[in-house]
């Protein structure tokens, strides 16, 4: 090699592969900066200010894949970051980083994703890459590197340089799918991110958008009517400081909702009766998830059970509550009925492992296991041990609320929960 030290021009006398060390002069002393590997043909090449080769002589040395948040989500984020850090320590300019083949990318079913890749060095003679998949039923990949997720499953995509077949890397993909019915996705207070919560419009939208079930919260009025609202007070949703248990139905039935999502689109929403809610659920063939709120007397629950029975849909009724006494009573009422199918009953608990005062010295989980109740809990406290113990007794675990698609997918995949409440249909694929 003939090197012009001032201009940074290199002239090769023979073809071949060479290593070139570059030094930088600092305070009258030459300091080693970097080493580059070059493949030479019989023509001059030069370096720019970033010490990058200008001529396109080199063959591909490696293929780098980039996983972006809006394209891929890493199942093993921490491991990947450690791999990157380790590579950086060895090679500050990231010249030869490749994704570890054990890393798996998640892609949502029925979506397309472009593989972001770069052939190194950037001035390679032929940057063309061939993409192949080992499972064409799960994913397809075109010549541009666009992945189409066809169905739930796993596949490996191989990226191979057309110039040198030895230069290749692999990407393992997991195609994710959340089925509204199979995974039993429940609309929390109706489709509450599109219409005011616990409104007839929110219930109707939830059915139209394909949720498996629709949850409502019910209180009993002073005259024994069952109405849907999350709080005992009407202040939050209706702007009036009235307590539902202290009012008759006639006193509150004509008050319009004033708050809630997209309230301007739904100006005439009134407080729904449970019968109106059940009319919608029955019409669309969905599952009614009824949360008992406040203090309900045994006689109240008897009347509620009669209303539910009149719809002849016990196979699609789930009754849930934080109030253990209400849950014990409603199940007792149904145990005395001549029912072909019983509703399902869930005791709700923010933290199933904690001692609940209403259960004596037992945790909610212990009590539920002893008394054959399903459990519903906040997503942040679910764990494998709890779900496994419930499943061993043929009991179920329902969690609330997750609105992120991949978070919901991971929760089903890791904990094997039975049902999940969400505020949006955006997590539903089918």
| CATH code, 405 | 3.20.20.190
Which region among 54-58, 131-135, 294-298 has the lowest average model confidence (pLDDT)? Answer: 54-58
More confident residue, 365 or 115: 365
146's tokens: 């666009």
Q: What is the DSSP letter of 150?
A: -
**198 and 329, same domain (yes or no):** yes
Global pTM? 0.76
* Backbone phi, psi, residue 346, to 5°: -125, 125
**Is residue 54 a part of any domain in this protein?**
no
**230 and 355, same domain (yes or no):** yes
**156 and 247, same domain (yes or no):** no
246's tokens: 């202290």
Q: What is the DSSP letter of 311?
A: T
- What's the pLDDT at 30? 72
**209 and 358, same domain (yes or no):** yes
**12 and 151, same domain (yes or no):** no
| CATH code, 76 | 2.60.40.1080
Section 25-35 average pLDDT: 70
Pinpoint the alpha helices (H) of 68-199: 77-90
Question: Taking a C-beta distance cutoff of 8 angstroms, is the pair 374, 395 a contact?
Answer: yes
307's tokens: 């209303």
Q: Return the SS3 of 193.
A: coil
Q: Which of the listed ranges 5-14, 68-77, 160-169 does the model predict with the highest average pLDDT?
A: 160-169
The total domain count for the chain is 3
**205 and 166, same domain (yes or no):** no
**80 and 138, same domain (yes or no):** yes
**99 and 216, same domain (yes or no):** no
Section 402-417 average pLDDT: 95
- What's the pLDDT at 116? 77
- What's the pLDDT at 138? 96
Picking from 120, 153, 176, the residue at the C-terminal end of a domain is 176
Helix, strand, coil shares of the chain as percentages rounded to 5? 25, 30, 45
- What's the pLDDT at 15? 67
Q: What is the DSSP letter of 355?
A: B
The model's pLDDT over 219-275, given as tens digits with 9 standing for 90+, comes to 999 999 999 999 999 999 999 999 999 999 999 999 999 999 999 999 999 999 999
**Is residue 53 a part of any domain in this protein?**
no
- What's the pLDDT at 324? 93
DSSP-derived pairing of the beta strands 153-161 and 168-176: antiparallel
Strand partners, 185: 420
**238 and 171, same domain (yes or no):** no
**Is residue 374 a part of any domain in this protein?**
yes
Share of the chain above pLDDT 70, in %: 75
**105 and 130, same domain (yes or no):** yes
More confident residue, 205 or 2: 205
**361 and 242, same domain (yes or no):** yes
Q: How many CB atoms lie within 10 A of CB 7?
A: 9
CA angle 166/167/171 to nearest 5° reads: 115
The model's pLDDT over 132-175, given as tens digits with 9 standing for 90+, comes to 999 999 999 999 989 999 999 999 999 888 877 777 888 889 99
**Is residue 291 a part of any domain in this protein?**
yes
Domain with 25 in it: 2-46
**222 and 289, same domain (yes or no):** yes
Share of the chain above pLDDT 90, in %: 62
Q: Render 98-127 in DSSP notation, one character per residue.
A: ---TT-EEEEETT-EEE-EEEEESTT-S--
């Amino acid at each position: 090699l003939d090197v012009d030290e001032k201009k940074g021009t290199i002239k090769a006398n023979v073809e071949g592969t060479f290593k070139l060390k570059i030094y930088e002069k600092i305070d009258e002393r030459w300091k080693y900066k970097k080493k580059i590997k070059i493949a030479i043909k019989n023509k001059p090449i030069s370096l720019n200010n970033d010490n990058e080769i200008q001529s396109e002589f080199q063959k591909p040395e490696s293929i780098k894949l980039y996983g972006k948040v809006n394209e891929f989500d890493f199942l093993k984020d921490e491991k990947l970051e450690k791999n990157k850090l380790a590579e950086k320590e060895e090679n500050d300019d990231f010249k030869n980083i490749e994704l570890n083949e054990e890393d798996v990318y998640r892609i949502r079913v029925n979506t397309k994703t472009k593989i972001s890749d770069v052939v190194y060095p950037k001035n390679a003679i032929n940057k063309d890459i061939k993409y192949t998949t080992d499972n064409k039923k799960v994913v397809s990949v075109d010549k541009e590197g666009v992945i189409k997720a066809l169905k739930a499953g796993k596949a490996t995509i191989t990226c191979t340089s057309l110039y040198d077949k030895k230069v290749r890397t692999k990407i393992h993909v997991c195609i994710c799918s959340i089925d509204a019915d199979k995974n039993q996705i429940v609309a929390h207070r109706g489709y509450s991110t599109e219409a005011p919560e616990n409104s007839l419009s929110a219930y109707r939208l939830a059915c139209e958008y394909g949720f498996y079930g629709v949850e409502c919260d019910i209180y009993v009025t002073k005259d024994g009517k069952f109405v849907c609202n999350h709080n005992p007070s009407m202040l939050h949703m209706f702007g009036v400081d009235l307590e539902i248990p202290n009012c008759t139905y006639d006193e509150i039935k004509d008050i319009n909702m004033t708050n809630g999502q997209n309230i301007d689109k739904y100006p005439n929403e009134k407080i729904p009766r449970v019968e109106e809610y059940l009319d919608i659920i029955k019409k669309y063939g969905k599952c009614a998830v009824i949360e008992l709120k406040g203090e309900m007397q045994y006689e109240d629950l008897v009347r509620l059970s009669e209303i539910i029975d009149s719809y002849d849909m016990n196979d699609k009724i789930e009754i849930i509550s934080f109030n253990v006494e209400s849950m014990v009573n409603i199940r007792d009422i149904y145990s005395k009925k001549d029912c072909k199918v019983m509703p399902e009953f869930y005791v709700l608990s923010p933290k199933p492992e904690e001692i609940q005062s209403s259960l004596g010295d037992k945790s909610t989980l212990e009590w539920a296991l002893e008394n054959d109740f399903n459990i519903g809990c906040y997503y942040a406290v679910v764990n494998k041990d709890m779900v496994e113990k419930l499943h061993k007794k043929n009991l179920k675990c329902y969690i609330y609320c997750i609105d992120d698609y991949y978070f919901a997918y991971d929760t089903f995949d890791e904990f094997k929960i039975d049902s999940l409440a969400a505020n949006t249909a955006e997590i539903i694929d089918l």
